[in-house]
Structure 1
């Protein structure tokens, strides 16, 4: 029951000029694909093979001997969530319940945006910046390497990948510019609103 790499929700060139087709070709076609291949090889012929990716991640996270399964499975999941957090002609402002909740929990959308930018820019090394629902409160959190809010009881709403392979071909060492570009032009607020509605 090998886990299949979901297709990108947009064409490889659809996020230009903010994220290039070349970056997506390597990021989705090489990095993401490799995590899935490695994960499938590691769980083949095991009791994890028949489980959903989320179930296998939860089990592997609790067992230090399964760190390879966790790292590859969580990275496979994180990347799929990241692709869906992006959309051509995205960015702008959320609407409806999510917009009201962001204002309630952060004080304003601008304060939320500053917090997300800061989390993404200051994550040391590789990792992720997330908007999550933690209990009944929206929070910005960051995770290192393959870590994911799934294993800490938080419900992911949006994410930004800040591994260097997500931006280096386009922005080199200017991670803050990449982050600002994603927030202002590519964040998928419809996806976020659906996640928030499901998570409440």
Structure 2
């Protein structure tokens, strides 16, 4: 089992390491390391339509997220071998691959759970009364927060993520942060919800219309999950 905080310390190549995970999974098991698997979605691929198409969801989950899981397992297998062989250069060369693919697995696992079908009970803002009060305290109103968060998303250059986080420490407040590529939230901050701003999250449906994607994703935010994360009731762990 790889500790989340240790995973974040790795730095180096971002190139994919392959797509076949079967052998890596078996080898990791032989090495006494738990191999990561693609988590099931809590809803059908078409459940977020019309705001996120079934085609996007299926490709995003079954292809893109699966690739992060596959490549993370391959990188971990190679790293364990390098440690056993005392090959420090190989260990260093693998660090970014572990960070990039591990971050991709972490971010997407959080993302799927902070989405819910429009009109569902979970997507109702009423399910996040405590969080909304803190949002209004911090930004003046929910509309002002929504505008600030949307602006942060649209301000991301290249690929990345936008997050609402609860800052680390007792009594800490909320803030909006962005992370580059597949870098996850670090430093003890708790992700309340995140939005994927990689082109694969929206391009097949929205083309270059990022603003429309950002506007529509507000319809499928899972406010129940956001409230649970904010209140510390979530069963999600910051350790993979």
TM-score (norm: length of structure 1)? 0.86
> How far apart are 1:147 and its partner, in Å?
1.2
> How far apart are 1:154 and its partner, in Å?
1.4
RMSD: 1.9
Structure-2 residue corresponding to 1:57: none
Q: How does 1:68-147 map to 2 (within 5 A)?
A: 68-89=97-118, 90=123, 92=125, 95-135=128-168, 136-147=172-183
Match of 1:32 among 65, 69, 74: 65
Asked if 1:192 corresponds to 2:226, the answer is yes
Match of 1:169 among 204, 210, 213: 204
> How far apart are 1:95 and its partner, in Å?
3.2
Unaligned runs of 5+ in 1: 48-62
Measured in 1, the distance between the counterparts of 2:221 and 2:102 equals 24
Spell out structure 1 runs of 4+ moving beyond 3 A. Answer: 91-95
TM-score (norm: length of structure 2)? 0.72
Higher mean displacement: 91-100 or 107-116: 91-100
- Are the structure 2 counterparts of residues 93 and 106 from structure 1 closer, same or farther at C-alpha, using a change threshold of 3 Å? farther
CA contact 1:91–1:182 (8 Å) conserved in 2: no
Match of 1:179 among 207, 214, 223: 214
- Are the structure 2 counterparts of residues 145 and 93 from structure 1 closer, same or farther at C-alpha, using a change threshold of 3 Å? farther
CA contact 2:149–2:176 (8 Å) conserved in 1: yes
Q: Which SS does the other structure have where 1:128 is aligned?
A: strand
